[in-house]
Amino acid sequence: MGLSRNVSLWTGLRYKGQGPYLTFILHRIGGLGMGIFVTTHILSSYLGGQVGLFLNSVYENWAFQIFIFFCALFHAINGLRITILDLFPKLIEHEHEAIWIEWAVFLPVFGVAALVIVMTGLGG
Amino acid sequence: MNNPKSRTLPLSERGMTFEILMWYFTRLSALAMYALILFGLIGALVMGARNQMNFADVMRWAFMPNVTHIQSTNVPELAPWTTLFWKAVAGALLLVASAHGVHGLVVIADDYFAGAGARKIVRLLSVVMLVSVGAIGLYIIWTS
């Protein structure tokens, strides 16, 4: 049994889910990013050797650090928002305000950290 | 919304199936990870991290309190960081995080595989992944 959506790719790309949809898809990207990172990190620690050294050089690259920090920080803050709203369902009506608060916390923290990572990565 | 009432159905009236149990687990394990990471952070500060480690190293320890994560710092004595207690905290964080993560992968996979057979394969693979990653991770924590 295949999955039939009756929605073209173009329609999907133009989907106007807006704020909540953006957090939904970024939560998935963040979770997948961390899942792949943690799994390969555990395996490379276990295996060691050339594979471990290569993967460690990837993890120490500043571009990767910005990506994985984005994954972890966004997933953590967005996950806390989901947890609070889900465990107290009456708060769901304030979902949009909660998402604005979430961005207000995320952007400065991520911005400062990303700046430090780039400055260090470029020889600071 | 066709059925606005369903959006605020009290948690106590939603019944309890395996899927709902895992729905709770995902949210409660998120809180547990917050608690464990905060615990690791406070533990590092108590053990002297504020003079011997930079903030990035403190956070690396907090996210996984395993001794290999502080070997490149100025911590003079590794013994307090390698106790059974910290191995237990690291093991708990590993198991909670991998169960949370593997269940998340199943939720994502279910959006792309709707057939009963495919979903069964996804669940089988998820159990294999959880057991193998959990076992290898615990082995690393225990022997490092």
Q: Report residue A12's pLDDT band, with 50, 70 and 90 as the boundaries.
A: low
- With respect to residue B66, please indicate whether it lies within any of the assigned structural domains: yes
Residue A124's pLDDT is 55
Contact call for residues B141 and B94 (beta carbons, < 8 A): yes
Q: So what's the pLDDT on residue B139? A: 95
Q: Which of A42, A45, A124, A114 is nearest to A73 (CA)?
A: A114
Q: Which residue of A has its CA nearest to B7?
A: A89
pLDDT at A5 (0 to 100): 65
pLDDT in tens, B23-53: 999 999 999 999 999 999 999 999 988 888 8
Asked if residue B8 belongs to a domain, the reply is no
Question: Is the residue at B60 inside a domain?
Answer: yes
Q: Kindly tell me if the per-residue pLDDT of B86 is higher than 90.
A: yes
Compare all CA atoms of chain A with the CA of B130 and give the residue at the minimum distance. Answer: A39
Domain-embedded: residue B50: yes
Whole-number Cα distances in Å, B16 to B31, B32, B101, B105: 20, 21, 22, 22
CA distance B65 to B46: 14
Question: Which of B108, B115, B133 is closest, CB to CB, to A42?
Answer: B133
Q: Is position B78 within any domain?
A: yes
Domain count, chain B: 1
Least confident segment among A34-38, A95-99, B15-19: B15-19
A-chain residues near B133 (CB < 8 A): 39, 42
The mean of the pLDDT values for chain B is: 89
| pLDDT tens figures, B7-26 | 567 777 777 888 889 999 99
Q: Where are the domains of chain A?
A: 19-121
Looking at residue B1, what is its pLDDT? Answer: 45
Question: Does any domain span residue B2?
Answer: no
Task: Show the domain range for B84.
Answer: 18-143
A chain contacts of residue B98, beta-carbon cutoff 8 Å:
38
Residues of A in contact with B10 (CB under 8 A): 89
pLDDT tens, A52-70? 899 988 988 899 999 999 9
Look at residue A82 and tell me whether its pLDDT is greater than 70: yes
Alpha helices in chain A (DSSP H): 9-13, 18-47, 49-59, 62-87, 95-121
Which of B140, B141, B143 should we substitute to test contact with A (largest number of A Cβ atoms within 10 Å)?
Answer: B140
Report pLDDT for A1: 47
Q: What is the pLDDT of residue A3?
A: 61
Residue B34: its chain A contacts at CB < 8 A? 76, 80
ipTM given for this complex: 0.86
pLDDT at B62 over 90: yes
Asked if B108 and A32 count as a contact pair (C-beta separation under 8 A), the reply is yes
pLDDT of B3 over the 70 cut: no
CATH code 2.60.40 for A19-121: no
Residue A106 near residue A77 (C-beta atoms within 8 A): yes
Mean pLDDT for the stretch of residues A9-18: 70
* Position B107 confidence tier, pLDDT thresholds 50, 70, 90: very high
According to the model, what pLDDT value does residue B114 have?
Answer: 86
Residue B30, φ and ψ in degrees, nearest 5 = -60, -45
> Does B41 map to a domain?
yes
CA A120 to chain B, closest CA, distance in angstroms equals: 12
Q: What is the pLDDT of residue B84?
A: 94
Asked if B121 has any chain A CB less than 8 Å from its own CB, the reply is no
Q: Answer whether B105 touches A (CB < 8 Å).
A: yes
